[in-house]
Amino acid sequence: MIRLALLCLVLHPLSGQSLRELAEQHKTRIGAAVAPAHLGEEPYAATLAREFNQVQPENATKFGPVHPARDSYNFVPADTLAAFAREHQMAMRGHTLLWHRQNPRWLTEGNFKPEELSAILHEHINSVMGHFAGQIYAWDVVNEAFNDDGTLRHTIWSDGLGPAYIEQALRWAHEADPKALLFYNDYSAEAINAKSDAIYKMAQDFKTRGVPLDGIGLQMHLRARESIPFESMAANIKRLTDLGLQVQITELDVRLPVDASGVASRGDLGLQALIYRGIARVCLLSARCTALQTWGFTDKYSWIPGEYPGFGAALLFDANYGPKASYNAFRDLLMPSIK
Ligand code: 9MR
């Protein structure tokens, strides 16, 4: 009987505990970036609610989508997601108040003087965070502010407001919703390197001077067939959490070469599963790595094929919502007895 049950578990992984049930036993969050427009698709909504206990809008709370004209906001798509999250007892993250991409034309082509740009940003932070106060528990306040060499990226914000714009945004964010956790979020800063050194120095300085910063988001857009520096990632997480910060994995995906129908080889799917397992392990081993989030969850909808032609299949579920080896790797790692 027991052997039969075990066999069923192996053959039908979905009959066991879901990722969110396992994550809840670890008191951690397993999240996914979501396009609210797909919530009407039954398998999309059912998979999301069954497997995840955290959501984040993939685009809906970025500056352009949420603040399309100077005097008007569009909260409808993110409100739809917030209602879904409430209905299914999921936590919600916000992404992102300041970035150099997906800004509306009225902002990028407005030729605003520094005082006016500053007032626009202050008002934006107040309005968006005020609207979602009590619904969004953590915000990526600033996204991708550094270049890979650790210098500050030229953006509408750094050029218009000067390098202190990051701490100013964090202070305004704290005033707008004092209960929200405030994150700085970036890519290619997972392991120890010039970019993560710059982020670490900034975080250390902010902690020393009392600038409100609660955590660092490590995006983790990875590809199989590259060597993943797990130990260096763990060391980076440790130095950040030693400052008293949380770390969250915010945008994990592992892209694979695919054929014209979007199908990857079995070998690459196996390599991908090892990477998913390794990242989950690095996060679970740190008590202050408080969320593990993937950038989407089904290969049906992912930014990868659009941005990297010839690549895809980067997520936990295939295009038909079937669980992949990466899903089983995540699940195995979250099983209480396995570490
Ligand atoms: O997945 C997002 C895609 O739908 C958008 O077209 C794109 C626009 O720049 O942004 C993607 O999300 C990005 C995220 O907001 C920040 N980190 C990198 C992500 C992938 O580009």
Q: 196-208 burial by CB neighbour count: b if 16+ within 10 A, else e? A: bebbbebbeebee
Type and span of the H or E element at 283: helix 266-284
Provide block-wise average pLDDT over 10 residues at a time, the chain (339 residues).
Answer: 42 72 95 98 98 98 98 98 98 98 98 98 98 98 98 98 98 98 99 98 98 98 95 98 98 98 97 98 97 98 98 98 97 75
Indicate which residue's Cα is closest to atom 4 of ligand 1.
303
| pLDDT score, position 15 | 62
| pLDDT score, position 4 | 42
**DSSP code of residue 136:** -
| pLDDT score, position 321 | 98
| pLDDT score, position 335 | 85
Ligand 1 pocket test: pick from 34, 188, 295, 307 the residue with the most ligand atoms within 8 Å of its Cβ. 295
| pLDDT score, position 53 | 98
Q: Would residue 251 show up in a list of annotated catalytic residues for this protein?
A: yes
Looking at 51, 58, 190, 251, which residue is catalytic? 251
Annotate the chain with three-state secondary structure. CHHHHHHHHHHCHHHCCCHHHHHHHCCCEEEEEECHHHHHCHHHHHHHHHHCCEEEECCCCCHHHHCCECCECCCHHHHHHHHHHHHCCCEEEEEEEECCCCCCHHHHCCCCCHHHHHHHHHHHHHHHHHHHCCCCCEEEEEECCECCCCCECCCHHHHHHCCCHHHHHHHHHHHHCCCCEEEEEECCCCCCCHHHHHHHHHHHHHHHHCCCCCEEEECCEEECCCCCCHHHHHHHHHHHHHCCCEEEEEEEEEEEECCCCCCCCHHHHHHHHHHHHHHHHHHHCCCCEEEEEECCCECCCCCHHHHCCCEECCCCECCCCCECHHHHHHHHHHCCCCC
Cα 139 to Cα 155: distance, rounded to the nearest angstrom: 20
Cα 159 to Cα 315: distance, rounded to the nearest angstrom: 36
Q: 226-237 burial by CB neighbour count: b if 16+ within 10 A, else e? A: eebeeeebbebb
Looking at 144, 167, 190, 226, which residue is catalytic? 144
Type and span of the H or E element at 94: strand 91-98
Q: Are strands 289-294 and 138-143 parallel, antiparallel or unpaired?
A: unpaired
| pLDDT score, position 6 | 42
CA of 286 to the centre of ligand 1 (A): 27
Type and span of the H or E element at 33: strand 29-34
Cα 96 to Cα 17: distance, rounded to the nearest angstrom: 32
Indicate which residue's Cα is closest to atom 19 of ligand 1.
251
Mention every residue, 6+ apart, whose C-beta is less than 8 A from residue 17: 331
Place of tokens 């956790």: 181
Q: Would residue 167 show up in a list of annotated catalytic residues for this protein?
A: no
Q: Name every protein residue with a CB atom under 6 angstroms from any ligand 1 atom.
A: 58-59, 101-102, 143, 187, 219, 251, 303
CA of 255 to the centre of ligand 1 (A): 14
| pLDDT score, position 16 | 83
| pLDDT score, position 225 | 87
Cα 287 to Cα 305: distance, rounded to the nearest angstrom: 34
Indicate which residue's Cα is closest to atom 6 of ligand 1.
303
CA of 295 to the centre of ligand 1 (A): 9
Place of tokens 């192996």: 10
